[in-house]
Amino acid sequence: MTARRQFLAGALALACVPSAARATPETVAEAVRQLVAGRQVRDGALTIDVPPLVENGNAVPLTVAAPAGLSVVALHVFTEKNPQPHVLHARFAAPTPAARVATRVKLADSQTVLALAELPDGTFLRARADVIVTLAACIEDPT
Amino acid sequence: MSARGLVSAPARVKRGEVFEVKTLVAHPMETGFRPGFDGRLIPRDIVTRMAVSLDGAELFAMEMSPAIAANPYVAFPMTLEKGGVLTVEWRGDNGFVAEARIAIAVA
């Protein structure tokens, strides 16, 4: 990377995050801790469908799907390097088999997306997906 | 503010059949983390919650954060035991409210 590119990347990063407002793995862990509140979490067959390489972080298609044989009451998504850790909390009124939620999210940087599925017995399934973002969400012109 | 919401679902489904509901609402989803031309942060203006109900009974709800892209699109599966009018309601900052309805018959 040339010095000019490094300067530009740095300047954009500064413009992007004017204050210290940025989630970290610690703030994500804290947000997850508040959600889970001491209940059991295990890594599970939760599917996060997101492109591994994203050109534009302003609208990234994201689908979180629970395994077909499992009923789910809620799906939660967190990110590590967006300005704040929460992305979405989707709740089904009744336990739903093959639950999934599809939406479009903003990603401020290359980072790990964390998804949790809440089961009817109160326990959680967890999955992670790594995403590389070449154009971050907050660089666009404020028009 | 002219608020526009859209909902798409089959007009008739079988009892207990899984079908997909797709929703879309026109909204800028300003995060509150971006500086404007004057260097000051543009205040946050997002949709905070969308809820889907059938004849008043809530079936699905989603809490949104600034990390949801502009013009929030949400799709999710649903099953119904009886037909009715499916209502999607979006609520957000600065008193934002939008609503969309679709009638679904259950055979």
Whether B33 sits inside 8 A of A21 (CB atoms) is yes
Is there a domain that residue A103 lies in? yes
Q: What is the ipTM of this complex?
A: 0.89
pLDDT score at A138 = 64
Residue A93, in any domain of the structure: yes
* Residues of A whose CB is below 8 A from B58: 93
Q: Band of the pLDDT at A141, cuts 50, 70, 90?
A: low
Tell me how many domains chain B contains.
1
Task: Enumerate chain A positions whose Cβ falls within 8 A of a Cβ in B.
Answer: 15, 17-18, 21, 58-60, 79, 82-84, 86-94, 96-107, 137-138, 142
Q: What is the mean pLDDT of chain A?
A: 84
The per-residue pLDDT for B1 is 43
Residue A49 domain flag: yes
Give me the mean pLDDT over the B81-102 stretch.
94
Rounded to a whole number of angstroms, the distance from the CA of A101 to the nearest CA of chain B is: 5
Each residue of A10-54: pLDDT tens digit?
555 545 544 446 778 888 888 999 998 888 899 988 999 999 999
Closest of B48, B57, B60 to residue B7, by C-alpha? B60
Note whether residue A138 is domain-resident.
Answer: no
Q: Is B58 on the interface with A (CB under 8 A)?
A: yes
d(CA B100, CA A70): 30
Query: What is the CATH classification number for the domain harbouring B81?
Result: 2.60.40.10
Share of chain B above pLDDT 90, in %: 82
Domain range for A60 is 22-133
In the A/B pair of chains, how many CB contacts fall below 8 A?
101
Q: What are phi and psi of A74, to 5 degrees?
A: -155, 150
Q: What is the spatial distance between Cα A72 and Cα A91, in angstroms, rounded to a whole number?
A: 9
Per residue in B3-23, pLDDT (tens digit) is 589 999 999 999 989 999 999
Within an 8 Å CB–CB cutoff, is residue B35 touching chain A? Answer: yes
Task: Work out how many domains chain A is built from and give that number.
Answer: 1
Determine the pLDDT at residue B4: 84
> A118, A122, A124, A123: which is closest to A73 by C-alpha?
A118
A88 lies in some domain: yes
- pLDDT computed for residue B85 by the predictor: 95
What confidence score (pLDDT) does residue A116 get? 95
- Amino acid letter at A45? A
Residues 6 or more apart from B101 whose CB is under 8 A from it? B7, B85, B86, B87, B88
Q: Which residues contact B44 (CB under 8 A, 6 or more apart)?
A: B30, B31, B32, B66, B93
A83 with B65: CB under 8 angstroms? no
Structural domain including B36 reads 5-106
- The C-alpha torsion from B31 through B32 and B33 to B36, rounded to 10°, is 110
Give the domain CATH number at A65.
2.60.40.2470
Tokens standing for residue B38: 């004057």
Nearest to A93 among B36, B58, B62 (CB): B58
Of residues B99, B46, B88, B77, the one with CA closest to residue A63? B77
As a whole number of angstroms, the distance between CA B47 and CA A117 comes to 23
Q: How far is A87 from chain B (nearest CA, A)?
A: 5
Token reading at A33:
């801790």
